[in-house]
Every structure is written in C-alpha cells, then in structure tokens.
C-alpha cells in the first residue's frame, strides 16, 4: 500500500513534463512515447496480470494496450490525464479478454461447472478458521482462500469487477476510477459497494 501511495505522489510531480512528452510522442517521437510507457507500464502490467491471472494473457493485454495507445495517441486531447487514458484502454482490453475467455468456456462444456460444486469445504469455514474469529496478529492467508476469492470475483458484473479491481487491487482513488469509467465518483462508489456486498455473500455462503 505504501508503494501505491508513493507512486501516486510521484505521478503528481511528473504531470508537468508529461504534457511535453505527449506532444512529442504525438509528433512521432518514439523515444518520448517509450518514456510515457515506462512511467506507467508497471501499473498496467499489474492490472493485466491480476485481471487475467496468468502471464501469457497479461503480456498480451499489456502489449495490446500500449499498441492501441500508440495508434490512437494523435486523438488524445488532454481532456484527461494520460494515465487515466491508458488505464481506460487497459481496462477495456482486459475485459475483452475476459469476455472472450467466457465465450470460449461456455462453448466448450459444462464441465467447468463442476468446479463450482459445493463438495469442497465451505469458504465460510475457511474464513472462520482463518480470520473472522481468530487472532488478527497471525498470518491468515491460505492458498485456498486466494482461489475462493478468484471465484468470488467471477460473480461480479463487469463494472463491479472493474471498480473493485481498480480500487482494491490497484489502489486507485474512486474519483479517478470514475474518470476512467467515463462516469462519476458517485457511480464508482455504488459499484464498489455492490461489489463488496456480492463478494461477502459469496465468500460467506459457498
């Protein structure tokens, strides 16, 4: 979390010369474009890696995002920050990939549904054993919990998933998330609220 805060502070500093870099990149300056990329590519890769959950697709999303940015940079009008703009592209590309994967899965079979069978120990118990009622000082995290959380995230709608991803996993403020979605902070708040409700329902009732 501290790292995220530091990054945010850094970003404010960098915004001054960023405009210049963007203009240079718009004039075809590859060096300037790559400098812009370097400023944000760790964040974009982290987003892609978590959204897709594997290296292959994370790399694809990463490259697709910046190639799209490269191709449409001339249309960037400084109405938002470059960071917000790239994030918007990255979230769209990530969601596209998830959608494709979803279609593929539905086409293949029902087999994956067996994964959701309630044969496994209920997460409620896992949570109870790990965090809910036990000593908060202990390291509580088990691998199984991680898997459950991934499943729970799949129950969210796209917008809920997006807002939750950006706020919880990427540490962005709701105000910026509103901008990324082309919407408002209020809307982002509502999605965050619904997302946590759904996650709680899933994680305590499986």
User: Is residue 30 involved in binding another protein (CB under 8 A)?
Assistant: yes
How many residues sit in the footprint of another protein (CB under 8 A)? 49
User: Is residue 46 involved in binding another protein (CB under 8 A)?
Assistant: yes
Cα separation, 179 vs 185, in Å, equals: 8
Sign of the four-CA dihedral 62, 64, 70, 72: negative
Cα separation, 91 vs 74, in Å, equals: 20
Q: Please select the residue that binds another protein; options are 59, 68, 88, 159, rule is CB under 8 A.
A: 59
Tell me the CA end-to-end span of the chain in Å, nearest whole number. 29
State in angstroms the smallest separation of the CB of 18 from another protein.
Answer: 15
Cα separation, 152 vs 206, in Å, equals: 9
CA dihedral of residues 93, 5, 54, 63 (deg, nearest 10) = 40
Cα separation, 115 vs 97, in Å, equals: 21
Q: Please select the residue that binds another protein; options are 21, 167, 180, 206, rule is CB under 8 A.
A: 167
Contact 44, 62 (CB under 8 A): yes
User: Is residue 49 involved in binding another protein (CB under 8 A)?
Assistant: yes
User: Is residue 205 involved in binding another protein (CB under 8 A)?
Assistant: no
User: Is residue 27 involved in binding another protein (CB under 8 A)?
Assistant: yes
Contact 81, 43 (CB under 8 A): no
State in angstroms the smallest separation of the CB of 1 from another protein.
Answer: 8
State in angstroms the smallest separation of the CB of 13 from another protein.
Answer: 15
Question: Closest Cα partner for 203 from 160, 146, 157?
Answer: 146
User: Is residue 78 involved in binding another protein (CB under 8 A)?
Assistant: no
Residue given tokens 């917008």 in the structure block:
159
Q: Please select the residue that binds another protein; options are 10, 15, 63, 103, rule is CB under 8 A.
A: 63
State in angstroms the smallest separation of the CB of 106 from another protein.
Answer: 27
Q: What residues line the site for another protein (CB under 8 A)?
A: 1, 3-4, 27-31, 33-34, 37-38, 41-42, 45-46, 49-50, 55, 58-59, 62-63, 66-67, 70, 127, 130-132, 136, 140-141, 145-146, 149, 167-169, 173-174, 189, 192-193, 196, 199-200, 203-204
């Amino acid at each position: 979390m501290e790292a995220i805060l530091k990054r945010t502070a850094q970003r404010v500093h960098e915004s001054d010369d960023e405009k210049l870099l963007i203009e240079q990149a718009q004039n075809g300056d590859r060096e300037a474009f790559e400098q812009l990329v370097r400023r944000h590519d760790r964040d974009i890769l982290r987003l892609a890696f978590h959204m897709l959950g594997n290296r292959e697709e994370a790399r694809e999303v990463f490259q697709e995002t910046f190639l799209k940015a490269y191709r449409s940079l001339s249309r960037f009008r400084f109405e938002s920050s470059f960071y917000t703009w790239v994030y918007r592209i990255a979230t769209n590309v990530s969601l596209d990939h998830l959608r494709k994967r979803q279609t593929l899965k539905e086409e293949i079979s029902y087999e994956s549904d067996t994964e959701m069978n309630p044969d496994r120990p209920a997460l409620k118990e896992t949570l109870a054993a790990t965090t809910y009622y036990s000593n908060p000082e202990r390291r509580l995290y088990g691998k199984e919990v991680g898997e459950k959380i991934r499943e729970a995230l799949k129950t969210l709608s796209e917008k809920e998933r997006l807002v939750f991803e950006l706020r919880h996993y990427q540490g962005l403020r709701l105000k910026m998330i509103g901008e990324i979605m082309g919407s408002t902070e209020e809307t982002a708040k509502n999605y965050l609220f619904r997302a946590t409700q759904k996650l709680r329902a899933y994680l305590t009732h499986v």
